[in-house]
Each structure stands twice: as C-alpha cells, then as structure tokens.
Amino acid sequence: MKARDLAELALRNLREALLRNALTTLGVAVGVASLVAMLSLGVGLQNLASQRLTRSGLFDAVFVTARSFGDRGGLSREGSSRDNSDSRQNPEPQELKLLDEDTRQAFARLPNVTEVYPQIRFVADARYGETKRQTMVLALPDSSRRSGAFDAMKGTFFSSSAAQEAILQMDFAKELNPQPESLIGKELTLRYMERSTSASDAELMNALTGSDNSGAISVLPRIKKFRIIGITDSDPSAGLGGFGGARVFLPLQVAEGLHVAQPGDFRTMLASESGKPSYMALTVRTKSPNDVPKVEDAIKKMGYSAFSLMDAARSLRLVFAVFDLFLGLFGSLALTVASLGIINTLVMAILERRREIGILKALGASDKDVKSLFFAEAAAMGFFGGILGVTFGWLIGQALTLGASLYLRSRDLPGVSVSHVPWWLGLSAVAFAVVVSLAAGLYPAARAAKLNPVEALRYE
C-alpha cells in the first residue's frame, strides 16, 4: 500500500468517528501541554538565573589577588602546604607579585578581556547633618549599571565616571534619615585616610632609619563631599567582586582619585623599593563565561592567584538538569494516561471495522498493510495532539509569566519571564507525542493484523 493511499485512508477513518478521535487527540494535547508547561518553567527559571548571575558579574569575571609571602610563583593555593614544606627544606627568597598599574594593563591585553578594574573598598566616617556613621565604601565601574542591581533603585545611576556622586544602600540610608528618599539630591560627607607620598616624608624616613626610603608612605585624614543621587535596596557589592558588605558606592574613577590608604600600600612599601602603589585585588571581566577558564589559566601562568565562580555555575547547571528531569517525569504522566485513551480508541475501531479489515485482506492487503494503517491513525492523533499541546503549553507559560509579573510589580519589583519554550522543546514534544502514540498503537495494530479475513467478512 502506497504512503499516500495509507495517509488518505487513515484520515478518512479518523473523520468517521470524529468526536471520539477528537477527544482522544485532545487527551494527547493535554498530556503534551502539561509536559511542555513544566519543562518550559524549568527552562525559563534556568535562563532567568543564568541571566541574573551573568549580569551580576559573577560568572564572567576572574578575581585576581597578589601572591602572599609564603606562596611560590606559578602554583595554585592547593599546593601551599607542599610549597611550605619544600621552602623549609630549601629556603629561597620569593619575589612578591604585586598588582600595580602595569599588571592591570597586562591583564587588559589578554584575549577576550573586556575590562580590568581594581577592587577599591575602604572604611570611612559618613556624616549627614548631625548623624554620623562608620561605613564601608566601594568603588563601582561604569559597567555595573548593567548588573541588574540598580533596576529597582530610587533615583539614578552615576551621571559620569568622574561625577562627585554617591549611591546609598537602603538600610544605611534609613540610618541617616527615616525617610530615605528625601536624601536624594543632598550632600554626604565622607572622612577617610589618604595615602600620600612626598619628598618631605622620604627625607624624614631617611633621617630616622639612615637608609634610602624614597617610597615612604604617609597617611593623612581627608574630607570629601558627595551628592546623593540614588538609593538601592539590593547590595551591588555582592556581585562585583566586593562580596557584600558595602553601603556607600562611588564611581571608580573618583575613588581612584581619592588615593585612599589600603592594606596593600604597606605591603608594597615592604616588598618594593620604589614604593609604587598597588591594588589589593583586581577584577578581570571577560566577553562571556566561556572565556573565563582560559583567562584564569593565563593569569595563573603570570604568577598571580586567580579564581572564578565557574565551578558554582557547573553545580547550578547540574541542579537545573535534575530539576528538569523531575518536571519531565511528572509531565509525562499525563501523556501516559492519554496513551491509554489511544489504545481504547483503536481497539474500539477494530471492533467497529472488522468487516472493513476483512475486505482489505480479501483484496490483497497484507498483515503489514493493516498494521501500517492503524499505526498511521495513531501517529496522526499523536501529531495533531502534539501540536495542540505545544500551543496550550506555551499559553500556560505565558499565563504564568503574566501572573508572576503582576505579583512582582505589586511588590514594586520588576517583572520577569519565568517560562520559555525554545524551538527544540516544541519539536521534541511533538516527536515524543508521536512516539508515545505509536507505542500505544502496537497492541491494536497487532490485534487487527491477526484477524481472519473470512471471519471478519461474516462479522456484522
């Protein structure tokens, strides 16, 4: 029997019992819809988590720190205990690898690196009116405006990288004023310690120590005023290399110009004859998370300690894979129930069409042709049910997204998309529905093929 004749005959048979076959197809559609809705929810949540974490700067960044005095260049932290034992047996002076401006430029020239910025954080006394608080200050690069931490902030982001402006964390703003939004546009005074290298300081150190101290560092108190332009509920420092805790945020270029005294300055003075300022840590941003391993390896080969959060990302993907597996299993239960409906429909069709099957066999149709006919009918119900199911599943996902967005907006939070149906999910769902339908048609097709044509022709 030709494929075209088989398809026409199968569709004609489905139209004869239209209501029953339509209900069976609808059962398949409901099963596919539940499967697609659950899997699209898993895919949507995974995309949401990946986008948020990527925008936060956690997974496309390498965090670099200078080697400690006990580290040996070119080795990772895991080998520190072995290095210490080797150093006790063969004591050799180790050069400290500093993170200075030259190092920063060297990192910026690495392939697939988009920006390199220092982690400038320091303790300062913040004063607003008569209220005074000690707080942690963090410098933010201009790229942090895309991190998502400022999506729901009150006010605006920094107008420029050189603006004398500040953004406050909401809890800290409430400490300064019970009505935090009234702080926007007002001035905040910061008192901090400035690092200063001067000729007079060097001469004093030379006189006291009797040696050349051209890199002497003096620390002086300074006061600077900033205009408050924004207040954010989130903690931007948790995703920008600051690892949380900061409550006042300044533009990076402005913070660099403050020359704030940091612990790295004293380490530099001890380790370097020139006393050239260095950074405590650098954050190296890459074009995509896929570029992180190569950049991290290149930095380690240069003799610096580097780490990233890609291991956590792999663990996160594993969690979502298990999550998708369980969602798929639960969604498949409805499709399994629908397959029972296909079996019932085709078995009833055998009883109603015994005479027709006998005529086909009398005209020369083989058992294979009869099986193919019933398989074609089952595949048709699975195909049309799969298409309807994918459509219903997509509509359910859109309803979930709409409901979630309305709920979040009622809480003054930005809306999100919690469901996503990629093309591969839609095609896989339709294919899976056809396969399940063919499996459900195995028994009815085999039963129809075994009918004796003589007995079938006598049947009324």
Least confident of 205-209, 416-420, 440-444: 205-209
Nearest one of 363, 336, 365 to 448, comparing CA atoms: 365
Determine the pLDDT at residue 348.
Answer: 75
Least confident of 4-18, 35-49, 178-192: 4-18
pLDDT-derived band of residue 269, with 50, 70 and 90 as boundaries? low
Q: From the CA atom positions of the chain, what is the Rg in Å?
A: 35
Collapsing DSSP to helix, strand or coil, 167 comes out as strand
What average pLDDT does range 214-243 have in this prediction? Answer: 73
Cβ atoms within 10 Å, residue 460: 5
pLDDT of 78 strictly over 60 = no
Residue type, 317: R
pLDDT of 247 strictly over 60 = yes
Residues 6+ apart with CB under 8 A from 81: none
Comparing 376 with 414, which gets the higher pLDDT? 376
pLDDT of 159 strictly over 50 = yes
Comparing 147 with 437, which gets the higher pLDDT? 437
Gap between the Cα atoms of 356 and 353, Å rounded: 5
Residue with tokens 């406050």: 168
Q: How far is CA 130 from CA 97, 133, 167, 193, in A?
A: 44, 10, 20, 21
pLDDT-derived band of residue 166, with 50, 70 and 90 as boundaries? very high
Cα 11 to chain centroid distance, Å, stands at 46
pLDDT of 76 strictly over 60 = no
pLDDT of 56 strictly over 80 = no
Q: Is 380 left (phi over 0), alpha (psi -120 to 50) or beta?
A: alpha
Determine the pLDDT at residue 152.
Answer: 72
pLDDT of 432 strictly over 60 = yes
Q: How far is CA 290 from CA 54, 113, 298, 430, 444, in A?
A: 11, 12, 14, 32, 51
Phi, psi of 122 (to 5 degrees): -155, 160
Determine the pLDDT at residue 29.
Answer: 85
Gap between the Cα atoms of 305 and 299, Å rounded: 8
Indicate the pairing of strand 218-232 with strand 165-169.
parallel
Cβ atoms within 10 Å, residue 40: 28
Least confident of 77-81, 111-115, 172-176: 77-81
Determine the pLDDT at residue 211.
Answer: 53
What is the percent of the chain with per-residue pLDDT over 70, rounded to a whole number?
74
Determine the pLDDT at residue 77.
Answer: 39
Comparing 7 with 242, which gets the higher pLDDT? 7
Least confident of 47-56, 155-164, 338-347, 362-371: 47-56
Determine the pLDDT at residue 379.
Answer: 86
Residue type, 407: Y
Cα 296 to chain centroid distance, Å, stands at 19
Cα 81 to chain centroid distance, Å, stands at 35
Determine the pLDDT at residue 309.
Answer: 74
Q: Is residue 91 within a helix (H) or strand (E), and if so which, with residue range?
A: none
Comparing 433 with 318, which gets the higher pLDDT? 433
What average pLDDT does range 205-218 have in this prediction? Answer: 54
pLDDT-derived band of residue 239, with 50, 70 and 90 as boundaries? low
pLDDT-derived band of residue 224, with 50, 70 and 90 as boundaries? very high
Determine the pLDDT at residue 47.
Answer: 78
Gap between the Cα atoms of 118 and 66, Å rounded: 12
Indicate the DSSP class of residue 77: G
Least confident of 76-85, 118-127, 184-193, 394-403: 76-85
Determine the pLDDT at residue 84.
Answer: 44
Among 105-109, 325-329, 346-350, the range with the most confident prediction by mean pLDDT is 105-109
Comparing 394 with 351, which gets the higher pLDDT? 394
Give residue-wise pLDDT tens across range 87-145: 444 444 445 677 888 888 999 999 999 999 888 888 999 999 888 999 999 888 888 87
What average pLDDT does range 384-409 have in this prediction? Answer: 89
pLDDT of 203 strictly over 70 = no
Check: CB of residue 49 under 8 Å from CB of residue 321.
no
Comparing 78 with 332, which gets the higher pLDDT? 332
pLDDT of 82 strictly over 50 = no
Comparing 218 with 433, which gets the higher pLDDT? 433
Check: CB of residue 256 under 8 Å from CB of residue 118.
yes
Check: CB of residue 348 under 8 Å from CB of residue 20.
yes
Least confident of 31-35, 229-233, 392-396: 31-35
Least confident of 27-31, 69-73, 110-114, 327-331: 69-73
Collapsing DSSP to helix, strand or coil, 186 comes out as coil
Determine the pLDDT at residue 365.
Answer: 76
Determine the pLDDT at residue 75.
Answer: 38
Residues 6+ apart with CB under 8 A from 148: 52, 55, 56
What average pLDDT does range 285-299 have in this prediction? Answer: 87
Determine the pLDDT at residue 392.
Answer: 92
Q: What is the mean pLDDT of the chain?
A: 77
